[in-house]
Structure 1
Amino acid sequence: MFALTACRIFTGKGWLEQHAVIINNGRIQALVTEAELDARLVQYPQAGAIVCAGFIDLQLNGCGGVMFNSDISTATLAHMQRTNLASGTTSFLPTLITSPDIDMQTAVRVTRNFMAGHRHQVLGLHLEGPYLNVARKGIHPAAQVRALDAQMLDFLCQQADVLVKVTLAPECHAPEQIRKLVAAGVLVAIGHTAANYEQAEAGFAAGIGFATHLYNAMTPTLNGRSPGVVGAIYDNPRIYAGIIADGFHVHPANIRLAHQVLGERLCLVTDATAAAGAPTSLTEFDFCGTRVLIKDGQCVDEHGTLGGSALTMIEGVRYLVNTVGLSLSDALRMASHNPARAIGRDSDLGSIDAGKVANLVLLSPELEVLNTLVNGDFTAPMSTPMAIIKN
């Protein structure tokens, strides 16, 4: 048991000064004033650092030079988890994009095996496709885009212990298929879709609860008569959405608008690829058979189509504060509290409360990652002052 002291604590609801976080057996035992601390308790003073819940990335294709699609293995997930820690991300959903059935089945098995030995790190699998609309496929391989068949529907419904989220195009599927996934406990997301407002609303009525990378690969609001998928999301008070705040995918004004409308239902996601957290020597990578180039922090194929991002969560938080103009509180909520709520994990993660898992990130006032804790364990050696882990 130990305490983090001399820090600014963002609980997810508000800020605490001159308070300490007491951690015991991997969980937060209490939040108390520093004056209340038992003098015999081990203390780690943080010299004014910010302590907040660890970031949760709900859409991560790869990072640190690797892609989950390219090597569906526990070694890849372990590498992604290690890479994430430098950007304050303590938990994530590995994302497998449009693939053959055998790859999806392998991803389920591999993710289940990793989760069994690494609690509260990989939170489950996200299948982004192949059940998309080819007209809005983006960089996904067209040859693999297809409708969800009965056999795979049954298989996916049996994997809800590990399959957290499935992104699909509702206009290409029957409402009964969506309802069956939702009834099994899978979060269904709308994405890579050419749906109109009415088709999107029908998907929401069937149980869709999330929108994958808001604005990207979906029909926009064209005019007052055509709200599109974006308008349908804004018009439904139940839908959560992920948004990529990297300066390439979404204009800052549209991020501000999304936040004004969705509030705590808006989640920062990276949609990151091998480029995120990778050595600067990496200039290209393979994305399901497509050569993707890294140019000035942007990931594009030879036609200029965006192929994921090079974004890390801490870079996204800084962008939300410094460029979009959100408050630090709102940016941190978008990186931790909101994602936890979106996938139903807020009883354990996403905020600092007694009884919750001690997955935490320590930040400098300049929003550099100083250290992280996973299940109450520091992931970098502690000293006073502590060493800074640069992105």
Structure 2
Amino acid sequence: MSAQQAITGARVFDGDRWHDGAALVVAAGKVSAIVAEAELPAGIDRRGETGRLVVPGFVDLQVNGGGGVLLNEQPDVDGIRTICTAHAQFGTTALLPTLITDTRAVTRCAVEAGIAARAERVPGFLGLHLEGPHLSISRKGAHDPALIRPMDGEDLERVLEARKALDVLLTTVAPESVSNAQIEAMAGAGVIVSLGHSDSGHATVAAAVAAGARMMTHLFNAMSPLGHREPGMVGAALDLGHVNAGLIADGYHVDPVSIGIALRAKRGPGRIFLVTDAMSTIGTDLRSFTLNGRTIYRGGGRLTLADGTLAGADIDMVSCLHFMHEKVGLDLEEALRMASLYPAEAAGVTGRKGRLTHGHDADFVVLDADLSLRSTWIGGNPVFENRS
């Protein structure tokens, strides 16, 4: 590619507003500008996308697997590369490979893999999400209860050391299994502390947030519900303004009506953003796979253990976008922000992700008018093109 390239003919959404009759100019992996097509220099390399939409690349903070790989089962840099490549087919340009509760040894391998992926600049790799093992057994979901345990001093030190080597480290913990002092130590070191898989009440959650927690993991799922006498974790997520919350928008984890209620109720400046909670099935025809020695079955758009417990999600980010726009009835612009800008804000990377403005990474997605995906670009380079 030349020193500069212009994407022309499309409507461009910069994360805040649409630009018509404009071109997205990229150079050296960054967004240079959005300018009127008439102002483009004569010699610039142009790529026409007439009638299409150019939008910020999707940012997914909870990705357990993809392309036939589950991070728990292949905690190495090749596994991370496969996961990132699989999700690029569906518009995700930055993601956190997510390790579900596992042994100390597997957790150590996953962290080492994340450090290697950062060093090798694996396209799409943003950092790691450690979901567990410091959760509540009463809200374990598909996590193996035999591996769930309280955080000890060694665990805390490993998390703090991992954060030094990764740009983004997110960990999901339950207040029942960590102390507020531990939350304070992690948050002080730059770890994003998310609360989830917990039966805690509003007051306990508020204390954890005061200690530094800033996120809730998959709103509504594996957490105490909103009640009329005890607001629970769901109530806390909506009430506490500085808390962001991930949401799985597949129609199985949360009903569209509940999603709409939550969006209207959420107190800011925190946001509800989209996550896939995707497993290894994404981009494959797998009908089953293994997690912690247990078989997970795929069918009817759902992933379940043998007893019917939901075990992650069988959805990609562009499908989540469709769901929010078409089933929930959200304006396209807000649905796009939930898939890009808001997770970038939650991860603290809005200086380079989530928008298409000068100096941001040239991570973008080209969509047809019906929101079907045409191509995915990371750092100004096409990493996936739909030629069908």
**TM-score past 0.5 threshold:** yes
The structure 2 residue matched to 1:70, chosen from 36, 52, 73, is 73
CA separation of 1:119 and 1:349: change in aligned 2, threshold 3 A: farther
Q: Residue 172 in 1 paired to residue 177 in 2?
A: yes
Q: Residue 145 in 1 paired to residue 151 in 2?
A: no
2:224 equivalent in structure 1: 219
Which amino acid in the other structure matches residue 299 of structure 2? K
The structure 2 residue matched to 1:272, chosen from 251, 271, 278, is 278
Q: Contact 1:158 / 1:184 at 8 angstroms: preserved in 2?
A: no
Any residues of structure 2 matched to 1:314-329 within 5 Å, and which?
A: 314-329=318-333
Cα distance in 1 between the residues matched to 2:347 and 2:387: 31
Cα distance in 2 between the residues matched to 1:125 and 1:371: 25
Any residues of structure 2 matched to 1:171-250 within 5 Å, and which?
A: 171-223=176-228, 225-250=229-254
Q: Contact 1:3 / 1:22 at 8 angstroms: preserved in 2?
A: yes
Shift of 1:68: 0.6
Cα distance in 2 between the residues matched to 1:184 and 1:388: 45
Q: Give the unaligned 5+ runs of structure 2.
A: none
After superposing the two structures, state which structure 1 stretch, 250-259 or 343-352, moved more: 250-259
Cα distance in 1 between the residues matched to 2:130 and 2:122: 20
What is the CA deviation profile of residues 343-378 of structure 1, one whole-angstrom value per residue up to 9, with x for unaligned ones?
A: 100000111001111011111111111001111111
Cα distance in 2 between the residues matched to 1:131 and 1:143: 12
Cα distance in 1 between the residues matched to 2:45 and 2:384: 18
Q: Contact 2:216 / 2:237 at 8 angstroms: preserved in 1?
A: yes
Q: Contact 2:139 / 2:197 at 8 angstroms: preserved in 1?
A: yes
The structure 1 residue matched to 2:124, chosen from 98, 117, 121, is 121
The structure 1 residue matched to 2:93, chosen from 78, 90, 108, is 90
Which amino acid in the other structure matches residue 374 of structure 1? I
TM-score normalised by length of structure 1: 0.95
Cα distance in 2 between the residues matched to 1:241 and 1:210: 5
Which amino acid in the other structure matches residue 2 of structure 1? Q
Q: Contact 2:87 / 2:282 at 8 angstroms: preserved in 1?
A: no
Q: Contact 2:62 / 2:276 at 8 angstroms: preserved in 1?
A: yes
Cα distance in 2 between the residues matched to 1:188 and 1:318: 29
1:293 equivalent in structure 2: 297
Q: Contact 1:241 / 1:267 at 8 angstroms: preserved in 2?
A: yes
Cα distance in 2 between the residues matched to 1:166 and 1:271: 14
2:382 equivalent in structure 1: 378
Secondary structure of 1:47's counterpart equals coil
Which amino acid in the other structure matches residue 203 of structure 1? A
Cα distance in 2 between the residues matched to 1:22 and 1:4: 6
Say how many residue pairs are matched.
381
Cα distance in 1 between the residues matched to 2:24 and 2:155: 45
The CA RMSD over aligned residues, in Å, is: 1.3
Q: Residue 110 in 1 paired to residue 116 in 2?
A: no
1:384 equivalent in structure 2: none
Which amino acid in the other structure matches residue 117 of structure 1? E
Cα distance in 2 between the residues matched to 1:76 and 1:259: 35
Cα distance in 2 between the residues matched to 1:15 and 1:317: 17
1:57 equivalent in structure 2: 60
Which amino acid in the other structure matches residue 318 of structure 2? I
TM-score normalised by length of structure 2: 0.96
Cα distance in 2 between the residues matched to 1:288 and 1:366: 39
Q: Contact 1:275 / 1:309 at 8 angstroms: preserved in 2?
A: no
Q: Contact 1:369 / 1:388 at 8 angstroms: preserved in 2?
A: no
1:130 equivalent in structure 2: 133
Cα distance in 1 between the residues matched to 2:122 and 2:292: 29
2:259 equivalent in structure 1: 255
After superposing the two structures, state which structure 1 stretch, 270-279 or 50-59, moved more: 270-279
The structure 1 residue matched to 2:342, chosen from 338, 345, 368, is 338
After superposing the two structures, state which structure 1 stretch, 158-167 or 21-30, moved more: 158-167
Shift of 1:172: 2.6
Which amino acid in the other structure matches residue 170 of structure 1? P
Percent sequence identity is 36
After superposing the two structures, state which structure 1 stretch, 122-131 or 100-109, moved more: 100-109
CA separation of 1:355 and 1:120: change in aligned 2, threshold 3 A: farther
Secondary structure of 1:170's counterpart equals coil
Q: Contact 1:276 / 1:309 at 8 angstroms: preserved in 2?
A: no
Which amino acid in the other structure matches residue 171 of structure 2? V
Q: Contact 1:211 / 1:239 at 8 angstroms: preserved in 2?
A: yes
Cα distance in 2 between the residues matched to 1:388 and 1:344: 34
